[in-house]
Amino acid sequence: MFDLTGKVVAITGGAGVLYTTISKGLVAAGAKVAILDLNEEGANALAEELKEAGGEAVGVACNVLDRESIEDAADEVIKAFGKVDVLINGAGGNRADATTTPGERSFFDIPPEALNWVFNLNFLGTVLASQVFGEIMAEQGEGVILNTSSMTAIRPLTRVVAYGAAKMAINNLTQWLAVHFAQEYSPNIRVNAIAPGFFLTEQNRYLLTDRETGAMTPRGQQIIDHTPMARYGAPEDLVGTVIWLISDASRFVTGVVVPIDGGFSAYSGV
Ligand SMILES: NC(=O)c1ccc[n+]([C@@H]2O[C@H](COP(=O)([O-])OP(=O)(O)OC[C@H]3O[C@@H](n4cnc5c(N)ncnc54)[C@H](O)[C@@H]3O)[C@@H](O)[C@H]2O)c1
């Protein structure tokens, strides 16, 4: 049920920190993986690494904000593997100037371009890729889309105003797409999302650790204090849930957002 042998998985933002580890896990579970990333060099390097480890993989240049670029990338995936079974919308991120910082940037000073940038990358990029790959799935009559939400969608975190709202939009979109694809195209097209908790990566390093000393910031400590399992996540913690959600093991599951957060979203703080 959890076996991914022969399944073709396209991952946007696949060369990033979390999806690099997830890609390795998917290849180990038998999947053929296409790494779609704005960072073409990174995508190719990861594909080479996956191939050296005995997997089937291809790196493809792709900008999720440019529909033509996504269409070209989809053509490349089909050329390489003949079909596409799964789209993982992994491209996403935050920017410091779309984030309030005490003494540095107030909510009133956040520039509209920064809000747009964060919204576009996290929301529009997922919509556009789902249009292109979703159409292929509609023609096939089957497929899986997996979106990437965040803890801040489930319980808004302080400071990350645009990022949180954009990820909440992903939760709504996940439910909408799940219903739309099942009703309009095929009950064998499923759409779900993962909501990772706190993983120390480049995206949030400046919020969770001190720029100079590397010590945990008060915010970083608050996160640990509110995580019953009392640690940050490791990218490896995501692999099993992703395999479950893109494999036949979850064949009656659609429209859900699964927290992978060490219990953060379950804890009231008391
Ligand atoms: N790191 C965390 O703690 C955390 C927590 C919750 C959710 N997430 C989400 O998980 C996903 C991966 O996060 P990460 O920490 O690995 O980020 P990351 O910055 O390491 O990876 C993001 C990848 O997306 C690529 N990318 C950026 N813009 C793109 C574009 N326009 N088109 C195609 N690719 C583009 C980047 O080149 C990069 O390889 C994101 O959606 C992020 O919002 C991360």
pLDDT single digits (tens) 119-131: 999 999 999 999 9
Ligand 1 center–CA 101 separation, angstroms: 21
Task: Read off the pLDDT of each residue in 261-267 and give the average, rounded to a whole number.
Answer: 97
DSSP designation for 30:
T
DSSP string of 83-138, one letter each residue? ---EEEE------GGGS-BTTTB-GGG--HHHHHHHHIIIIIHHHHHHHHHHHHHH
**Region 23-44: what's the mean pLDDT?**
98
Assess whether pLDDT exceeds 80 at residue 100: yes
Q: What is the per-residue pLDDT across 201-237, written as a single tens digit (0 to 9) for each?
A: 876 777 788 888 888 888 889 999 999 999 999 999 9
Catalytic one of 19, 163, 185, 232: 163
Q: What is the predicted pLDDT for the residue at 211?
A: 83
Ligand 1 pocket, Cβ-based, cut-off 6 angstroms: 12-13, 15-19, 37-39, 42, 62-65, 90-93, 121, 125, 148, 150, 196, 198-199, 201-204
Nearest to 241 by CA among 223, 253, 228, 225: 253
Closest CA to 62 of 6, 3, 16: 16
Counting from 1 in the atom list of ligand 1, the atom nearest the Cα of 198 is 3
> What is the percent of the chain where pLDDT is above 70?
100
Q: What is the C-alpha separation between 148 and 55, in angstroms, rounded?
A: 24
pLDDT digits (tens, 9 = 90+) for 174-194: 999 999 999 999 999 999 999
Domains of the chain: 8-206+225-265 (3.40.50.720)
State yes or no: is 163 an active-site residue: yes
Distance 270 CA to ligand 1 centre (A): 32
Instruction: Give the mean model confidence (pLDDT) for residues 92-117.
Output: 96
Q: Would you state the pLDDT for residue 181? A: 98
Residue 204 CA to ligand 1 centre (angstroms):
11
Nearest ligand 1 atom to the CA of 91 is 24
Mutate to test the pocket of ligand 1, among 150, 198, 200 (most ligand atoms within 8 A of CB): 150
Global pTM value: 0.97
Q: Which residues contact 139 (CB under 8 A, 6 or more apart)?
A: none
Between 141 and 154, residue with greater pLDDT: 141
- pLDDT of 77 strictly over 90: yes
Q: What is the mean pLDDT of the chain?
A: 96
pLDDT, mean of residues 134-159: 96
